[in-house]
A and B are shown apart, each in its own frame.
Chain A
Amino acid sequence: MATIAQGTTRTKPDHVRKTERGEAVTFLEAISEGLFEEMERDPRVFILGEDVGVYGGAFKLTRGFSDYFGRERVIDTPISEAGFTGAAAGAAHMGMRPVVEMQFMDFIAPAYDVITNYIATSLWRDAGPMPLVIRGPVGGGSRSGAFHAQNVEMAFFHTPGLKIVYPSNPYDAKGLIKAAIRDDNPVIFEEHKGLYRAPHLRQVLPHEDYIVPLGQARTAREGKDLTIVTYGMMVHKSLEAAATLEKEDGLAVEILDLRSLLPLDEDAIVASVQKTSRVLIVHEDTRTGGIAGEIALRINEKAFAWLDAPILRVTAIDSPIPYAPTLEDYVLPQTADILTAARYLARY
């Protein structure tokens, strides 16, 4: 391992030194820090993706990494999502721990074959573990059209062998990316681009090394009247709705931030349902075949008798994500939709 090449500078990029200096970091900087720390910690970790090296990635998340770690560990690939994801699988076979960047997660589609048929089955086929992470920006609201705005979790959710992570804040994002890199299973890591640089989400993170374990939900807000099960950007829309519901309706809404979608923290969901007996599931992804269907059925299996109302969901409309602000806002779930559904449930 000692033979792995180093970069041309030993100066860490500025945007991964904020926690060191005690400054608050954005969601994007938190992921950069996590990635950078894991690369320093473990020479087996390396990055592959389009424009990740010299340019530093479309969102500049890996800016300065190639100068520090060298071109060998931050590899600018040909435009070939299947090719470099497959190559990551081969490297994982040889004991490396690759982190694949999809420039936009929409572009993961060409790699669907290798991810589901090869990577997800490797351990089960007795071909060894696949310690790799496939990460990248997802989500709408940034007026980028149908091919730079999708959520991809449900394309992979039903594939045994994969893990799926979808953080909502800097602390979790850093802890989860580090846990994902250390995980011996393949992890799909979704980063909502609307969270990347949101100034109000900045957090001061712990100086010491920490991880957030995969597969564990987090209670983002305590409440007794109603549970909202959600993740990613929708955690923030749900928090906004919960504040209104408290002020205007006197409702104490509990918000469960799933953080990991696969494995799903069924125990946390059931515990919250048993506490509030009313459930709203909110996701930005489209409706049909969305994760709300699976969550609702799990509640049905495990906590049916605790329910005082039907399970509802707020989701995107079953439509590609449009470009025009009027159209996109119409298709994506909004805080107002959450308010309407929550009020219906509370009255039921």
Chain B
Amino acid sequence: MAKRTVAPDSELVAGLTRRQLQEIYYYLALARAAEERLEILFRQGHVHGGLYRSLGQEGESVACAYALRPRTDGTGDLIAPLIRNTGAIFVMGGTPLEYFRQYLARGAGPSRGRETNIHFTDFARGIIGPVSPLGTMMEVLAGAMLACRMRGEDRVGMIWCGDGQTSTGAWHEGINFAAVQRCPVVVVIEANRWAFSTPTALQTRAKQFVDKAVGYGIAGERVDGNDVIATYEAARRAVDRARAGEGPTLLEAETYRLRGHAQHDAQDYVPADELEQAQARDPVELFRKRLLAAAWATSAELAAVHGRVAREVEQAAQQAVADPYPEAEEACAGIYTDVEIRPPWTRLEAPDPARA
């Protein structure tokens, strides 16, 4: 067992303390365990829509979000996550219970059963949930951060974009707007090689996504997204630039999607050797080895993390399964703030011809 030669609050690497390094590991483990538990719930028929794993991408998701300033009172930094950002949502204060309730379409879930997977919003904790035409989120985050900048708030917004998203017109309009207005935004490109079944080469002729930063006149950086420390450092630099009023950064995080697009996708279009190589670079495993090798954590400490994660995930899963679905009549509540949408009268009573 490694000897502790430093105080627990000293900075060991990248300005991170032993406690923080282990906290990052906790979020990595939590994201992975929550998704694994959800897979079981999916097979049991509890998940009605698709299930999207972030396997292999937890590293960049957690490391980037960890560079932010999360708060629970609506004054902290903001994120616009994607389906593969379970880890980032947890870093911002999202809980496994919310995650399960949302996926299980429960009435007590964050979108009250209206929306799928991680499509939920919580401004208190700075989470702006996505809609499926993902390019839109680039525009929305740019505008949210424009508002913060107009009011002199030193908040930063971070968005994750898949390589496919960068091909949309909406994404271009959004990042260009953010660049022109010098919005405090960090644009993380999760370069995971695949947009559903379409490889990067059919998405763009750019050699690397970071080259696009030049076209927008913004800072760009490229990092090994499976290297948690390097990704954290790059994200930290981008966040600091944004907070200092220097505008957006495009941060390309190279990673690999180890599963299909969703649970229904057997990813048979992925070359076997490529997948095998990528599996050998599992970011969670790489980080675990590094923590131990550098004596930033002991095996006992990491075992304790896994114990805590298992307890939290199991408790949340059981609670979510026990929760009820929303009442059917709730479907059309809250379409407007002040206009009530009612079902047609034929739904409520038998038509009476004499009334017409």
Contacts and interface: CB of A to CB of B under 8 A. Distances in A.
The answer to whether A binds B is yes
Interface of A: 1, 3-5, 46, 72-73, 75, 77-78, 80, 82-96, 98, 110, 113-114, 117-118, 121, 123-129, 160-161, 163, 183-185, 215, 263, 301, 304-305
B176 A80 contact: yes
A90 B145 contact: yes
Contacts of B229: none
B120 interface: yes
Contacts of B266: none
B29 interface: no
Interface string B170-204: 10111011001100000000000000000000000
Given A83-B174, A126-B111, A127-B128, A78 B180 contact: yes
Contacts of A113: 133, 136, 170
Q: Which 4 A-B pairs have the closest CB atoms?
A: A86-B139, A90-B143, A83-B173, A87-B143
Contacts of A82: 136, 139, 169-170, 173
Contact of A89 (B115, B139, B341): B139
A171 to B, nearest CB: 23
Given A77-B177, A127-B128, A118 B140 contact: yes
A126 B119 CA distance: 10
Given A83-B139, A117-B136, A90 B110 contact: no
B144 A93 contact: yes
B174 to A, nearest CB: 6
Given A117-B131, A126-B120, A160 B335 contact: yes
Contacts of B177: 77-78, 80, 83-84, 86-87
Contacts of B337: 123, 129, 184-185
B152 interface: yes
B114 A80 contact: no
B176 A46 contact: no
Contacts of A73: 150
A163 B173 CA distance: 25
A86 B334 contact: no
Interface string B64-89: 00000000000000000000000000
B147 interface: yes
Q: How large is the interface on B (under 10, 10 to 19, 20 to 34, 35 or more residues)?
A: 35 or more
B215 to A, nearest CB: 13
Contact of A91 (B120, B133, B136, B147): B147
A127 B154 CA distance: 23
B121 interface: yes
A202 B212 CA distance: 52
Given A125-B114, A125-B121, A304-B356, A93 B139 contact: no
Given A82-B170, A123-B336, A185-B336, 15 more contacts: A75-B181, A84-B143, A84-B177, A85-B139, A86-B142, A87-B146, A89-B143, A90-B146, A91-B143, A94-B148, A95-B147, A124-B335, A127-B128, A185-B338, A305-B356
B263 to A, nearest CB: 23
B176 A91 contact: no
A90 B111 CA distance: 18
B151 interface: yes
A121 B132 CA distance: 12
A184 B338 CA distance: 8
Contacts of B336: 123, 161, 163, 185, 263
B151 to A, nearest CB: 6
A74 B147 CA distance: 13
B339 A215 contact: yes
A78 B173 contact: yes
Interface string B144-164: 111110111000000000000
Most chain A CB within 10 A, of B112, B114, B148, B150, is at B150
A92 to B, nearest CB: 8
Contact of A117 (B114, B132, B144, B145): B132
A85 B141 CA distance: 12
B151 A4 contact: yes
Given A4-B151, A82-B173, A83-B176, A123 B136 contact: no
